[in-house]
Amino acid sequence: MAIFPQTRTYTPHAGTDRRPTLRHFGPNWYATVMGTSIVASAGVALPVHVPGLRGACTAVWLLSALLLAAVLTARAGHWAAHRDQARAHLLDPAVAPFYGCLSMALLAVGGSGMVVGKDVIGHPAALALNVVLYTAGTLTGLAAAVAVPYLMIVRHRPEPGTASPVWLLPVVAPMVSAALGPLLVPELPAGQGREALLLGCYAMFGLSLLATLVMLPLVFGRLVHRGPLPLALTPTLFLVLGPLGQSTTAVNALADVAPDAVPGAYASALGAFAVLYGVPVMGFALLWLALAVALVVRAVRGGMTFSMTWWGFTFPVGTCVTGAAGLARHTGLSAYTWLAVALYVLLVSAWAVAGVRTVRGLVSGALLAAPKGAAAVAARTA
């Protein structure tokens, strides 16, 4: 996760067409879909009843589905009209990790459709939509989890000490599949199908977790040895919460459906694992959240202004909401209930701010304008 492409300063070059185009519409725009969809799914996961919340979440899911269609169309246009730039993105260590966002956007919209979108389109249609998006998202995520690290090794070759939280994006995508796969387990006939999907989700959980454990020390080492990230990149620190909250969500969701998929002894063990794993990982997530907030406050005081990195405040926090809600469900502790509520308030606030500022940037054309050469170089070498 080196940087968000739109963290650069955008100013049209003198003498060029000032109209924004899709040439610089990168894969990081899928973060808007992820951040919107998680507001819906996290809202319905809360272990408290809030009048009108489900209806609001349904409206947000519809918005996320429209956003997904819009971003997919724009990205298709980008590849069709600007194939040279699209290939350059794949070979750019600052942009390539964001291809993991495609997978997570597909998965997030499909999964939230199963829990809240069905209120609008019905269960059969929501199931069909989720099967398509889950399959496409999982295959895309597994491909990105291999392809992007491969490119980093053989083509990108980043310098020592330049690790960024953005590097986590490709490897966390399979964890999203692991967390949302349980929605499909009960839909399969009892027997081999259910067990295969359940254990396949645990395999993706392990794949993503171990890859995260490889990446995270590099990120922390970069912070310790080279100091805080540049101001515009500071919000990417919140991306570390993604694999932490999503893995906690995954083990709790998998434990919920395990009794109908595997023998009783295994199901009981998986239920215990959900708590034994989730509690300490959520504790570390809160530690990292406190550290990230402190560094963001420092960056704001230093003059940090809006950029697309602010969408990093949304989806990762949302995964912590669903993780805390899962722990509340399995432990019965009110502390996790109120933690989920507090994190959801933070999520909605961040989503509203990022959404409004993004709309303004689109209307003004600033977010689609070409990056100024000097700023682009500075961002890549930061």
CB atoms within 10 A of CB 109: 27
Tokens standing for residue 271: 């239920």
The 10s digit of each residue's pLDDT in 261-273 is 999 999 999 999 9
Angle between helices 315-331 and 30-45 (to 10 degrees): 20
Q: What letters, b where the CB count within 10 A reaches 16 and e where it falls short, cover 172-197?
A: bbbbbbbbbbbbbbeebeeeeebbeb
Looking at residue 5, what is its pLDDT? 45
Checking if the pLDDT of 372 tops 70, the result is: no
User: Higher-confidence residue: 10 or 357?
Assistant: 357
CB atoms within 10 A of CB 247: 26
8 Å CB contact between 185 and 194: yes
Cα separation values, 11 from 16, 18, 19, 129, 369, Å:
11, 9, 11, 40, 7
Looking at residue 29, what is its pLDDT? 94
Cα separation values, 81 from 16, 68, 71, 188, 366, Å:
18, 20, 15, 41, 20
**6 vs 22: CA distance, rounded Å:** 13
8 Å CB contact between 73 and 1: no
Please name which of 117, 29, 141 lies closest in space to residue 65, comparing C-alpha atoms.
117
Looking at residue 371, what is its pLDDT? 64
Tokens standing for residue 23: 């040439």
Checking if the pLDDT of 304 tops 90, the result is: yes
**164 vs 168: CA distance, rounded Å:** 8
Q: Given CA atoms 133, 135, 137, 140 in this order, what sign does their dihedral have?
A: negative
**210 vs 226: CA distance, rounded Å:** 25
Give the residue-averaged pLDDT of 158-175: 91
- Classify burial at 381, counting beta carbons within 10 Å of its beta carbon; exposed 0-12, middle 13-18, buried 19 or more: exposed
Give the residue-averaged pLDDT of 312-335: 97
Checking if the pLDDT of 145 tops 90, the result is: yes
Cα separation values, 126 from 58, 183, 187, 348, Å:
12, 11, 12, 24
Residue 362: CB partners within 8 Å, gap ≥ 6? 368
Return the minimum-mean-pLDDT range out of 14-18, 201-205, 334-338.
Answer: 14-18
Q: Given CA atoms 102, 103, 105, 109 in this order, what sign does their dihedral have?
A: positive
Residue ranges of domains in the chain, CATH in brackets: 5-377 (1.50.10.150)
8 Å CB contact between 258 and 271: yes
- The chain-wide mean pLDDT, for the chain, equals 90
Checking if the pLDDT of 244 tops 80, the result is: yes
Looking at residue 13, what is its pLDDT? 41
Tokens standing for residue 27: 């894969």
Looking at residue 358, what is its pLDDT? 96
**115 vs 118: CA distance, rounded Å:** 7
Residues in the chain: 382
Checking if the pLDDT of 27 tops 70, the result is: yes
